[in-house]
Structure 1
């Protein structure tokens, strides 16, 4: 049995609805949080010995 092919000539327009305005700031804040947490644990370790 042959496959039925749909031939639709619809023009699909892609809208850029994704907003990346806060992504860079969020990544920076997360990175700063990780570095501060790591540094505080490291200095706490050094202080104890």
Structure 2
């Protein structure tokens, strides 16, 4: 079978990196929530014994 090559011109747009600041803050909040939850469970476990 013959190979068909499609030549299309794609313009790649550079997105503004400032839109990632909200994502970074959200990830930090989720990470802090997970850490606080783990520490709370750890202390609950240690206080039972």
TM-score bracket, normalised by the shorter chain, equals 0.5 to 0.7
Q: Does 1:24 align with 2:24?
A: yes
Structure 2 regions of 5+ residues with no counterpart? none
Q: More helix by proportion, 1 or 2?
A: 2
Aligned to 2:46: 46
Between Structure 1 and Structure 2, how many residues are aligned? 48
Structure 1 regions of 5+ residues with no counterpart? none
- Deviation of 1:22 after TM superposition, in Å, equals 0.4
Give the CA RMSD over aligned residues.
Answer: 2.5
- Deviation of 1:38 after TM superposition, in Å, equals 0.1
4+ long deviations beyond 3 Å: 1-8
Aligned to 2:13: 14
